[in-house]
Amino acid sequence: MKSNYKKIGEHIRLVDERNKGLQVKQLLGLSISKQFIPSVANIIGTDMENYKIIRRNQFACSTMQVRRDKKMPVALLQEVDEAIISQAYPIFEVKNEKELLPEYLMMWFTRSEFDREACFHAVGGVRGSLEWEDFENLQLPIPHPDKQKEIVKEYNTIINRIALNNQLIKKLEETAQAIYKQWFVELEFPDENGKPYKSNGGVMVESELGEIPKGWEVGVLSNIANILMGQSPEGETYNTDNNGMIFYQGRTDFGYRFPSISTYTTKPKRKAKKGEILMSVRAPVGDLNIASEDCALGRGVASISSKIKCNSFLFYLMQDVREQFDVANDEGTIFGSITKDAFHQIVVLEPQKEIVVDFEARVKLLDENIKIYSSQLAILENLKSLLLSKLATIEN
């Protein structure tokens, strides 16, 4: 162990300040992603005076179920000056911020290596809780405070740029989705004179979905899209050595920009091409992604591509369609999966081709910028991971 490694317990102390007199109102929860979140707990009839007060630059953590979750939830409060949190969470603070910066300590807690070490020391059966004494005995390198400030500043630069890129992507997506809804939900696409169609006397006809523009049809998804359902690989057919094809499977961390991937080392049975839409079809249905390169499809994922090469239109259509999967079904449970036949038979509005092509051209610039910011995000995330991993080798 390097000489500058110190026990966490030497630099922190527990804090137990209760909400006497109900002086603090804001109630927070603690997520497994190491963030404070608005609490969703039912507090009707609860004695809120027994809740703990947490103040700026103090930490809250959970030492329960560390082995089961393979992660120790711990977060540093910086968004507000004070809040209250469940009495089940230990709260602690740095004893001397001139020796150890809270932000630097939080960086250490963010490392995946920290979670693995905490999991290793967790005891108590399958769920595995971490004893407070074992947590205090975990060690970290503590360089000179000036070095800590330098590291934190570099880290915050990356984090702030990640947040900015996410905001820009969100705004671009919202703009494109707003255009889609104006054209294909409100039916106010430009007419031959460039004016909104429906509100300027555009001819409408009756359909099973209500009034639609003349020349449009009501059909099913398979009429306008090629759909390919993923399939489980056979045996040991993928690993993470980066020598094979990118492999998408299941829903773990499956989000719009950063899905769960590994690499496929044998010839895959089901493939999607770069730019095609990926959608989770299990547990729950509806999470969307866009393939950043050719990829293999595993169980739980389907690829969707436009038959007229208008994938942007199809993506925003699927964003609109996915809302139905967020609603409970007749049995009162959230959609856990969708079959191939049901997927093909999703009812959609089929606009005239020239309208779709016009829309595709108008949102192309928005989508190109989304791709640029997403590429930057991938680089920034790698930089963040690299900086966190280098903390273990920092010298005084």
Rounded Cα distance between 14 and 149, Å, is 24
Within a domain: residue 212?
no
CATH code for position 13:
3.90.220.20
How crowded is residue 337: how many other Cβ atoms within 10 Å of its Cβ? 12
Q: Are 382 and 371 in the same domain?
A: yes
Reported as a single tens digit per residue, the pLDDT across 49-81 is 999 999 999 999 999 889 888 899 999 999 999
Within a domain: residue 208?
no
Q: Are 239 and 360 in the same domain?
A: no
Q: Are 10 and 130 in the same domain?
A: yes
Q: Are 116 and 165 in the same domain?
A: no
Q: Give yes or no for a contact between 392 and 386, defined as CB atoms under 8 angstroms apart.
A: no
DSSP state of 218: E
Mean pLDDT for the stretch of residues 366-387: 91
- The predicted structure's pLDDT at residue 17: 96
The pLDDT-based confidence of 248 (bands split at 50, 70, 90) is low
Q: Are 36 and 100 in the same domain?
A: yes
Q: Are 61 and 82 in the same domain?
A: yes
Q: Are 305 and 367 in the same domain?
A: no
Reported as a single tens digit per residue, the pLDDT across 215-230 is 999 999 999 999 999 8
Using only the alpha carbons of the chain, give its radius of gyration: 26
How crowded is residue 308: how many other Cβ atoms within 10 Å of its Cβ? 13
Q: Are 298 and 395 in the same domain?
A: no
Q: How many domains does the chain have?
A: 3
- Domain range enclosing 319: 217-350
Q: Provide the whole-model pTM.
A: 0.78
Within a domain: residue 314?
yes
Q: Are 314 and 379 in the same domain?
A: no
C-alpha closest to that of 88 among 73, 103, 102: 73
- The predicted structure's pLDDT at residue 46: 82
